[in-house]
Amino acid sequence: MFGRRTMLGLAGALAMPALSRAQPAWPNRPIRLIVAFAAGGAADSVARVLAPRLGDRIGQTVVVENRTGGSGSNGGAVVAQAAPDGHTLLWDASSHVVNPSLLKGLSFDYATAFLPVTLATTFPQVLAVKADSPIRSVADFIAAAKARPGTLNMGTQGNATAGHLALAQFQRLAGIEVTHAPYRGGADAARDLAAGVLDGAFITVLSAGPIADSGRARLLAVATEARVASRPDVPTFAEAGLPGLTIAEWCALFAPAGTPMPIAERLHAATQAAMADPEVKARLDQLVAVPVGSSPADFARFVAQGRAEMATLVREAGIRAE
């Protein structure tokens, strides 16, 4: 019914709206990496190590911007409200899966506001005791706690942190009760453990390592599935007779929900490549940060599972936001 020229004209007219809706090349301007925690901490340190290498691989500058407060939720709010175009990203930690069970009245829903991109690194948690303690193993610790319920003072890097959650899980699995002493960071808890103020602590290997090396603390077990490369002599909890305790602090990359998956895939690939850089690997080793680099799909499953597990643990342990 239509001539060839008419058909070509119609085809061109139909194609114009699609072309006008085409997404511009990404990235076409510097990328904001919103770090939900303070400068100088472990999460921030990893972000600042990775950001320049990430920028090199995607062809744009990655600008680190700290938005602190609200256990990471203030930074989350910035990214939840950002355009899903890959130019504003969230660098978050394990509080991402804990906050939904602790914080009320948030302006966004953690379950729907973000696209998980990649789990970058983990920070293993370790059970440590003071140097002059008669406790020399996890079994000894459990026996001592059962003999004196609620009298052992245990430090962590803060309320509702990975250390606190690991301690709560430890108490639940072992059937013990201790007194929780939350600090404003792992370094502060390590200092008091070394001074003998605390009986023990659940903190990162990074925080506990120096006082263990100086003979002021003893490391009993790491809350990981496999032994930590930097501490090969420290058993896992499963090896120590208490399987199921594998809670770690972690750092990860998220984008606003609705971000095109090809952008997430490129970010994932760029993060993997950045972590393979020898200088980056050396710096991560110094931070006792274990590189992971999981795919968006694997990380999404990890986040969903973690959110469900932490909801149960927070409820059963009676953990409250401070």
User: What is the per-residue pLDDT across 205-262, written as a single tens digit (0 to 9) for each?
Assistant: 999 999 999 999 999 999 999 999 999 999 999 999 999 999 999 999 999 999 999 9
Measured in residues, the chain has a length of 322
Contact 252, 119 (CB under 8 A): yes
CA trace torsion 311, 143, 148, 195 (10° rounding): -80
Examine the pLDDT at 263 and tell me if it is beyond 80: yes
The first and second tokens of residue 229, run together, are: 């490369």
CA distance 199 to 187: 16
Q: What is the pTM for the complete model shown?
A: 0.88
Overall average pLDDT of the 164-184 stretch? 96
> What is the structure's pLDDT at 322?
75
List, in order of start, the domains of the chain with CATH numbers.
31-123+249-317 (3.40.190.150), 125-222 (3.40.190.10)
Contact 120, 62 (CB under 8 A): no
- CA nearest to 289, candidates 275, 307, 269: 275
End-to-end Cα spacing for the chain: 74
Residues contacting residue 265 through CB under 8 Å, at least 6 positions apart: 296
* pLDDT tens for each residue of 128-169: 999 999 999 999 999 999 999 999 999 999 999 999 999 999
Which secondary-structure segment (H or E) carries 58? helix 42-58
> What is the structure's pLDDT at 13?
45
Examine the pLDDT at 15 and tell me if it is beyond 70: no
* pLDDT tens for each residue of 86-109: 999 999 999 999 999 999 999 999
> What is the structure's pLDDT at 7?
42
Residue 275's pLDDT band (cuts 50, 70, 90): very high
Per DSSP, the three-state class of 267 is: helix
> What is the structure's pLDDT at 2?
41
Percent of the chain with pLDDT over 90: 89
Per DSSP, the three-state class of 129 is: strand
CA distance 65 to 214: 36
